[in-house]
Amino acid sequence: MWHRLETLRGTNGTNINPYNARLLPEVPRHFLLRRLARHRRNAFLLVDQLRGLCDVSCVGYGGLVFIKSGFPEELKDLITYLALSRKLSITEGTSFGFNMTRVCIADQEDGAYLQIACGTENIHHFSEIANLIRDALKAVESRKIQSSLRYPMFFPGLFFMQKSQFR
């Protein structure tokens, strides 16, 4: 079913013709409730990890977490780079409800927030993701990083390439 939905999204964009939508099989309600419960669990786990470090809020039913940071762009970049270095699955994107955790910048009237859409990862895998986000937040808030995070090979502690590969 999910493969068919991804094929439809790839060929038709995100807007699915009503006729094509009726061709998709119905998803059982208990399946959706289990997915939502995992999104909620992961969001609340992340909020518990970050409480006391920053201004954090949660939209629990969708698994969305909003982090108020003075440097949301640097935080998003550092989370992405740390995920690569620790071999964890995090991607940039605004959608929520997917299996993989996503990060993006959400602009509000009172400033920019980092929006984290928690995925449906298991508890062990997501606790590693929560630790990664906590570590990135501590580093950004203590201003141990430069705004030149676009070049991760020059960031101390995040060496993705060996020096011999630069020659």
* 119: helix, strand or coil: coil
- Is residue 133 predicted with pLDDT exceeding 80? yes
State the pLDDT at residue 103.
Answer: 92
State the pLDDT at residue 128.
Answer: 94
* 50: helix, strand or coil: helix
Strand partners, 116: 65, 103
- Which CATH superfamily is 28-151 part of? Aspartate Aminotransferase, domain 1 (3.90.1150.10)
Give the 3-state DSSP-derived string for 152-165, with helices as H, strands as E and coil as C. Answer: HHHCCCCCCCCHHH
pLDDT in tens, 12-63: 556 667 788 788 888 888 988 998 899 999 999 999 988 888 888 888 677 8
d(CA 137, CA 161): 24
Is pTM, for the whole model, over 0.75?
Answer: no
pLDDT in tens, 62-97: 788 999 888 888 889 999 999 999 999 888 887 776
Task: Kindly list the domain boundaries of the chain, sorted by start residue.
Answer: 28-151
